[in-house]
Structure 1
């Protein structure tokens, strides 16, 4: 916004003094806040600009924003009054696009408002996080080697009392070797299928037989397992609201588009390079 944080000019200040006195609590969107050569500017005009400001300006005090927004409107109005009486093609098309976008956004806002209710959020939370089988998580370590023979020899060594972390640090070719082979906590589907299946069938403290994956041969020990606790609703509320919004908007747009009589010019029948020719707007 041009010169947002500037003081009112003497002319603008005099203009404000000339306006009818109104108590702040009586102002509404139709209240006239300025008149420029007979053109009335209302509080509603200011509110629309205020709502569209970038975040860094949204934090400014209202008295500062008032000055900046009104200055901008006054300057734009003075300049627009100097333009041709009839809107040119560029202005007309831009206004049509802006009106279309604003009306579409208004519909979307209503769709989202209807879909994202407290009841819908609670229902989604219960279905996604509270219903169904509890999810198990696993904490495992592994030793990765190239051949089954090497893995089988390591299994025998571990069953003979060797320390798993020490053997992993010495012999594992995987990136977790220096850390004793520790993989930390993981849930279903986070490991390759053969590895995941082996872990899910193990008891805590057990040593697996050699397990082959695309990476080589693994010897696995299951350190711990636990039931994954459902998060609190507030911790996932934003994610749930976003999913509900996306689902509702996608469905509404699809249904509205399917119900509409839409005719498109086939792309193959036009020279799409016309999109790079802004001079067409002045012809």
Structure 2
């Protein structure tokens, strides 16, 4: 299959300034910026072309993009006029798919943009958080050293009554050392697995045997535990709204598909490998 010509490959070399529009009115989507063999190229065509560019191109200066995109559209229009005969299936089918995809996306956008009532947000919040056990949180401190021997020696001193915070300030190589080894509050999944497993097994006030992680050897003290509280509604509002919108979209997709007159019988028994016949598109 022929690969499409990529006109923007040399876009960064275009440094000429764009000419001002000659129209006296405020520019809009229908404002004509050029004509090629009598065919209009509008500002709307340029805006759509820019919106579809990769991010690195969109960062280019406006004057470079304006000239580069206009050059591209002029060249494409001139080349298209030279084409004779019927378009190959790869083009007509691609246009069908693109039209279908863009139109479906607009239908989805209509659903996504439907206003959400506060009651719906509250209901989603209650379903997500009300009455659920969100697990425990832990407040722990640790002393981090390089070797197991060092960790064993520290554990022995702590068992004999040494102050944990003082030992952390004196011995720990971790960034929490100057703060007495305090790690503050954290929930499950926030620490590496071996460290977390050791913390979960401790009772408040207890000190662990040496625990190895990729950072070194830890001696851990569990200070307190508490039940994880549900976040305030406003802190998760955006997340809940997105969840509601996505649910609505899926429900709409399911509804319209179920109500559509769909007949897939022609595909029954067909060899799935036929979709690899790219040569048919020529």
Shorter-chain TM band = 0.5 to 0.7
Higher mean alpha-carbon deviation, 241-250 vs 39-48, is at 241-250
Question: Which consecutive aligned stretches of 4+ in structure 1 deviate over 6 angstroms post-superposition?
Answer: 158-165, 188-191, 194-199
CA shift, 1:53, in A, is 1.7
Aligned to 2:231: 230
How many residues matched? 239
Aligned to 1:280: 280
Aligned to 1:37: 37
Aligned to 2:126: 127
Alpha-carbon RMSD across the aligned residues, in angstroms, is: 4.9
Cα gap change, 1:236 to 1:37, in 2 (>3 Å) = same
Aligned to 2:10: 3
Cα gap change, 1:59 to 1:75, in 2 (>3 Å) = same
CA shift, 1:38, in A, is 0.9
Asked if the contact 2:16/2:63 (under 8 Å) is kept, the reply is no
Match of 2:231, SS? coil
CA shift, 1:239, in A, is 3.5
Asked if the contact 2:139/2:223 (under 8 Å) is kept, the reply is yes
Asked if the contact 2:137/2:187 (under 8 Å) is kept, the reply is yes
CA shift, 1:74, in A, is 0.3
Cα gap change, 1:24 to 1:61, in 2 (>3 Å) = farther
State the alpha-carbon separation in 2 of the partners of residues 3 and 273 from structure 1. Answer: 38
Q: TM-score, normalised by structure 1?
A: 0.61
CA shift, 1:162, in A, is 9.4
Cα gap change, 1:124 to 1:82, in 2 (>3 Å) = farther
State the alpha-carbon separation in 1 of the partners of residues 119 and 77 from structure 2. Answer: 46
CA shift, 1:107, in A, is 0.9
